Amino acid sequence: MDFFNKLGKKVSETYDATTEKTAKFAKEAKLRMKINEDKSDINDLYKQIGKKVYQKHLAEEEIDISKDLEEELTKIDVLSAEIETSLKTILELKNRKKCPKCNSEIDRDSVFCPVCGEKQLEEVKEVEVIEKEITNTEVESEENHKTETDFEEKTEEFKDVEESDEDK
Ligand SMILES: [Zn+2]
């Protein structure tokens, strides 16, 4: 009986881990597809820009980048930001991140970047805050304990006085 229970538990644990992995793979595949679509949209916009520039050349007109190409350029900005976000999400799925200083791909919980040595501030700050809170709580309980001890000592002194009074 025990053996089968244990076996059943192990199988379901493995199943959970596999399901999670499969979900992550599916998510990553979706993101990579989106990145490819965004890249292809950006290439289409490059073509549109090129065509506009050539038409201006044929008409022997000057091109005003911010006026004539604003729509295309804004779209490229938006698509590029989308690609950045997708790449960041893929890294997070793998529990990885980019070092803000040297841009190397590193473990998300690294305290220092193994490539350039940069201290990874954000994650460290959170841990430090939690540690400070724990230390503060410990100090408080110690102070409470001191007060209790003082009270006990004072009570003892008072008892001594009572006893000496009785002696007389
Ligand atoms: Zn680095």
Which tokens hold the place of 91? 């890294």
At position 103, the amino acid (one-letter code) is N
Q: Which range is least confidently modeled, 4-18, 29-43, 118-132?
A: 118-132
Q: How far is the CA of 91 from the centre of ligand 1 (A)?
A: 15
What spacing in Å lies between the alpha carbon of 63 and ligand 1's midpoint? Answer: 41
User: 1-94 is classed in which CATH architecture?
Assistant: Orthogonal Bundle (1.10)
Going from the Cα of 21 to the center of ligand 1, the distance in angstroms, rounded, reads 28
Find the 94 Cα to ligand 1 centroid distance in Å. 18
**Cα of 71 from ligand 1 centre, angstroms:** 36
- pLDDT of 106 above 80: yes
Per mean pLDDT, which range of 11-20, 73-82, 84-93, 139-148 is the poorest?
A: 139-148
In this structure, the dihedral spanned by the alpha carbons of residues 147, 152, 156 and 157, taken in order and rounded to 10 degrees, is 10
Query: Measured in angstroms, how far is the CA atom of residue 89 from the centroid of ligand 1?
Result: 19
Residue 85 Cα to ligand 1 midpoint, Å, equals 20
Q: Which residues does 99 contact at the CB level (< 8 Å), separation at least 6?
A: 106, 113, 115, 116, 118, 120
Please report which confidence band the pLDDT of residue 1 belongs to, taking 50, 70 and 90 as the band edges. Answer: low
Structure tokens at 145: 């304990």
User: Which is nearest to 98 in space by CA: 77, 82, 122?
Assistant: 122
Ligand 1 midpoint to CA 120 (Å): 9
Burial class (CB in 10 A: 0-12, 13-18, 19+), 82: middle
- What's the pLDDT band for 29 if we cut at 50, 70, 90? very high
Per-residue model confidence as pLDDT tens digits over 46-61? 999 999 999 999 999 9
Mean pLDDT of the chain: 80
Distance 114 CA to ligand 1 centre (A): 7
Distance 13 CA to ligand 1 centre (A): 36
Q: How far is the CA of 27 from the centre of ligand 1 (A)?
A: 27
Ligand 1: centre distance to CA 147 (Å)? 50
pTM for the whole structure: 0.60
Structural contact between residues 28 and 91, judged by C-beta atoms closer than 8 angstroms: no
